[in-house]
Structure formats: C-alpha cells, structure tokens
Amino acid sequence: MSIQWFPGHMNAARKKAAESMEKVDLVIEVLDARLPQASSNPMIESLRRERQRPCLKILNKSDLADPAATKAWLAYFSAQPKVSAVALSCRKPVEVAKLPALCLKLAPHRGTALKPLRLMIMGIPNVGKSTLMNALLKKRVAKVGDEPAVTKTQQRLLLGNNIVLIDTPGLMWPKIAHPSDGLMLAASHAIGVNAIIEEEVACFLADQLLMHYPQLLAKRYGQPVDALDGPGMIETIARARGYRLRGGGLDLEKAAHTLLQDYRSGALGRVSLETPESRAALLASYVVAPSDAIPQEAQEAE
C-alpha cells in the first residue's frame, strides 16, 4: 500500500513558507519522536538549507516514544551541521519553557530590541505545532485538533524577550518515497483518513509491534502473540474485545481502529517505529527508479 496525501492548500502554504524563510533566523521543526525521520518533511529541510538557516528539531511526544530510540535520534540529529535537537512533550509547559534559551544559543546575534529573534515553527500535520505555540505563548492562539491539517494559514506572534514566532500550516510533501513512511505517518495520524484504509495501516503497525514490542501487545490485550502476524493480531484483538458483526463474524475494522487508537494515545506503552539503524537499513535497501526524483533520499544521504 502506497499512501500519498497532499491537499491543495499545502502547495500554497509551501510557497508562503518559502517566501517567509528569507526573513527568519531559525527554523523550529517539530517531529514525532516515535518516527523522527519519517515525520521530517524533506521540503522543509531543502528550504532551510537553501537559506542556510539553523534548525532546532523538537522530538515531540517523547513521552510516547521508546527512550532508547529517542536517545539515539537525538545524537543522530545533533551531529548534523547547524542542527540541535531536543526531546519533549509540548503538553508539558515546564519542558517547553526551556526552548527560548535553546533558540537564542543557535542564533546568538539576534534577540535584542533592534534585532528580535525570528522563529518559524514548521512540521507535518498533527505533530503538535499548535500545541507548542500555545504552550510558548501561555495562551490559546492556535487551533488544536485531533485531525491533520487543522491550521491552514500562517500566524505571526510576539513571544516576548525580543522573540517573534511564525506558525505555519502542517506541510506534507508531494511524493512519499517509501511505502513504510506513509504507513508510519498514517498510523501516527499525520495523514487524513480519506487517504488511508485503516485495516491495512493497522496490519502494518501490528507487524512492527510484533517484531519489536510483542510484550506490550500481550499485556494490553491479554493474549499470547508468539505465532501471530499483523492480520492475526487484528483478529486476536477482535476476539479478545468481543468485536462482532451482526452475522457473528469478527469486526476487524473496529479491532484495527482500536489498535491504532491505543498506539496513538500511548495506551500500549512507549513505542518507536524507527531508529537511526533501521532508517539506514531502509535507505540501503532502496533501489531508485531512473524516472524517480526523490529529494528526501538525496538529503538524508548527505
């Protein structure tokens, strides 16, 4: 299953972001800590590199991610030029309060009354940008929702301490190069439901969890999982929860939705869907078709 999702308003948002990039000092890219590279938009990376802007990568939802994987990702990103990385939960004001000082370190020539520090917050849909904005400003200025693409226009706001924030709509990119990236994004609710089939996404997620976190599945659903594959896990959840259709068959759609919700909410436990090592293995196994243009891979390989 190859998932693609690029609503019309995102193209206009991309053009606006490119125009605004010239007038900012630092890019804050909000990532999902459970899939940091899959949730990193290659267009954002391309824009900031073109303008030679430093970047603070925020691994949001770190309280839902595997701590060992998050530690590896922080080291991976922080080793890149003009990049710093921090893991936090945008829902925790104490953690968010540390960000202005980190930003000023990355742009020490700004942050005065004459030269305010101009920050642009970017990221894919539903990754927590609006929650971050509200936490930084300590008031509700950005609409927050549980569906992707809630924010559709830029906002320019004053943070105080000579810092200006520019919030941008969630941006996807026109072509997701790897099917597994699309499935990870769909599982994490970054892609609109009209672009996915939940059962297929849930089967992919179940396979990943069976491979890396079988104990969490067994604990959550109270069933042995040793010999199961993804579809078998969905059937097991349906039986364990008593999900039945009118004719008596298993309600696999409801079971699939349950697994996705349990993963998204953290009810399963702390889970990461990729590590720097698994990402490297994915790139090493990928064969580029002559007709394909894949800026993401060119950027990741640098």
What is the predicted pLDDT for the residue at 189?
A: 93
pLDDT of residue 211: 97
* Rounded average pLDDT per 10-residue block, the chain, 302 residues: 65 77 92 97 89 94 98 97 95 93 92 92 90 86 52 71 86 87 95 87 98 98 96 98 95 98 97 97 75 47 44
Residue 120, strand partner residues: 27, 166
Q: What is the pLDDT of residue 280?
A: 95
Domain ranges of the chain: 8-167, 189-272
Are 8-167 and 189-272 in the same CATH fold?
no
Helix 230-241 to helix 252-265 angle (10° resolution) is 100
Residue 245 DSSP class: -
DSSP state of 100: H
Q: β-strands 117-123, 83-87: how paired?
A: unpaired
pLDDT at 9: 62
Candidates 204, 207, 213, 196; CA nearest to 180 is 204
pLDDT at residue 6 in the model: 63
**What is the rounded CA–CA span in Å between residue 67 and residue 270?**
8
At residue 153, the pLDDT reads 59
φ, ψ of residue 52 in degrees (nearest 5): 55, 45
Rounded to the nearest angstrom, the gap between the alpha carbon of residue 27 and the centroid of all alpha carbons in its chain is: 16
Residue showing tokens 């069933």: 223
In the chain, the N- to C-terminal Cα span, in Å, equals: 28
Q: What is the CATH number of domain 189-272?
A: 1.10.1580.10
Whether pTM exceeds 0.75: yes
- Residues 29 and 35: their CA atoms lie apart, in Å, by 14
- CATH class in words for 8-167: alpha beta
